Chains A and B, each alone.
Chain A
Amino acid sequence: MNRQLAHLSDEALVALAARSEQSALAELYDRYGRTAYGLALRVLRDQTLAEDAVQEAFLTVWRTASRFMPERGKASTWILTLVHRRAVDAVRREQRRRADSLDLAAEPAVEGVEEDAFLRLQRERVQTALRRLPDAQREALELAYYGGFSQSELAERLGQPLGTIKSRMFGGLSRMRELLGEPGTETSWTPTT
């Protein structure tokens, strides 16, 4: 695998992609493709749909890289936001999902996952932070983010007023921000050499 761009920041790679440098897109995929695919698979539970969501997101990166504004946020945030949005759009198009139950947001058993130390560390940090949230906040975040449920669907399915769901999502996300902001919980890519 060609990793000659491995020393560049994500943001520099996006700037190169905006100039049609294909190896920059490849490097971004090598950094985030696996996380992107894991996320899409968690939301969609279907390999083909997950691949489509990841492909669409990375092609959106390619098409719109020139409009990315580094001062508005990290490139990794932008990429994973695109992946998540595609995955959620797809899961909502799947009518059959409507009949399914809320436990869809539970993490499926994934066998034979051999991941590198960086990804395992990040996963443990996020999961530890999630476990420290009050149950109701954690449930709202997991169902919304991993389950793809809208706030209205959650209000209905959990039998709670919409305002309660909004507060749980806001409270949960704000608390996660504090927990992840503690030292040593950086989640962006760190160049290896």
Chain B
Amino acid sequence: MDPHDLTAAYALDALGPDEAEAYERHLGQCEECREELAELNETAAALAFGTAAPAPPERLRASILDAAAAERSNVVPLLRRRWVARGLAVAAAAAACIIVGLAVSQSQSSGPQLSWQLSVGPTGKATLSVSGLAAAPHGKTYEAWLIPAGHSPRPAGLFSGSTSGVRLHGTVPPHGVVAVTVEPAGGSSHPTTRPIVTMPIQT
């Protein structure tokens, strides 16, 4: 495979994941391809203007701006296992009464591309983002939980898979924990499965 002929396909997002990764490695070393890609990217993006553009729902604008505001104030990146392990330790220390449900949650083995990000605003409003998460199985949903130190989990919102921002219900207490479980569709009032991730609040 000659990476030089992949520029157009890359600009159109028409490469598979492995091909795209190989091409990106090549780009780092090939000025010619970087220049060609810059041109073809611009043309590909022009195709976006070639389709009918119905107005998006009004709520989308507000949703984006709210999530942006929540993020920038206090971004807490939660990536990979190191953070998860730390989250578990904090959960164990801070929320002893529910730890039986949480501490055995080391089931995060979906590969390195799975990442969680919890953003907490100044008023304690939080937004949870995740990428690389498979869609919830049929009849199931992901449910987020807010766990104040020493208290039981409170339902904080439902989502179906990777998302750029679930606004969590309620406010995040300092030294609390946010956890996510898989629940029957419609959600539960208490966690019924082990969390797939637990995250400490570091405020």
Residues of A participating in the B interface, judged by any CB pair closer than 8 Å = 20, 22, 25-26, 29-30, 33-39, 41-42, 47, 50-52, 54-56, 58-59, 62-63, 72-74, 76-77, 80-81, 83-85, 88, 93, 107, 110, 112-115, 119, 122-123, 125-127, 130, 141, 144-146, 148-152, 154, 166, 169-170, 172-174, 176-177, 180, 187
A20 to B54, CA, bound (A): 29
Distance in Å: Cβ of B103 to nearest Cβ of chain A: 31
Contacts known (A59-B67, A72-B38, A93-B135); A38 close to B54, Cβ less than 8 A: yes
Interface residues on B, range: 35 or more
Say whether A146 contacts B41, CB under 8 Å.
Answer: no
Say whether A119 contacts B49, CB under 8 Å.
Answer: yes
Say whether A35 contacts B49, CB under 8 Å.
Answer: yes
CB nearest neighbor in A for B56: A37
Residues of B within 8 A of A77 (CB): 41-42, 45
A20 to B75, CA, bound (A): 12
| Given A37-B55, A80-B45, A166-B5, 14 other A-B residues pairs in contact with their CB atoms under 8 A | A20-B72, A26-B61, A29-B61, A54-B64, A59-B129, A73-B42, A76-B45, A77-B45, A125-B49, A126-B46, A144-B12, A144-B13, A145-B47, A172-B8
Say whether A151 contacts B47, CB under 8 Å.
Answer: no
**Interface SS of chain B: helix, strand, loop or mixed?**
helix
Say whether B41 contacts A81, CB under 8 Å.
Answer: yes
Distance in Å: Cβ of B196 to nearest Cβ of chain A: 18
Say whether A37 contacts B47, CB under 8 Å.
Answer: no
A77 to B64, CA, bound (A): 19
Q: Does B69 contact A (CB under 8 A)?
A: yes
**Interface SS of chain A: helix, strand, loop or mixed?**
helix
A152 to B9, CA, bound (A): 10
Say whether A62 contacts B53, CB under 8 Å.
Answer: no
Contacts known (A59-B164, A63-B71); A123 close to B50, Cβ less than 8 A: yes
Say whether A84 contacts B8, CB under 8 Å.
Answer: no
One digit per residue, 1 when the CB lies within 8 angstroms of any chain A CB and 0 when it does not, for chain B 156-195 equals: 0000011111000000000000000000000000000000
Q: Does B44 contact A (CB under 8 A)?
A: yes
Residues of B within 8 A of A83 (CB): 48
* Interchain residue pairs with CB less than 8 A apart (7): A51-B57, A55-B60, A80-B45, A84-B45, A151-B9, A176-B43, A177-B40
Residues of B within 8 A of A54 (CB): 56, 60, 64
A26 to B71, CA, bound (A): 15
CB nearest neighbor in A for B117: A63
A173 to B60, CA, bound (A): 31
Q: Which one of B38, B56, B129, B135 contacts A33 once the chains associate, using CB atoms below 8 Å?
A: B56
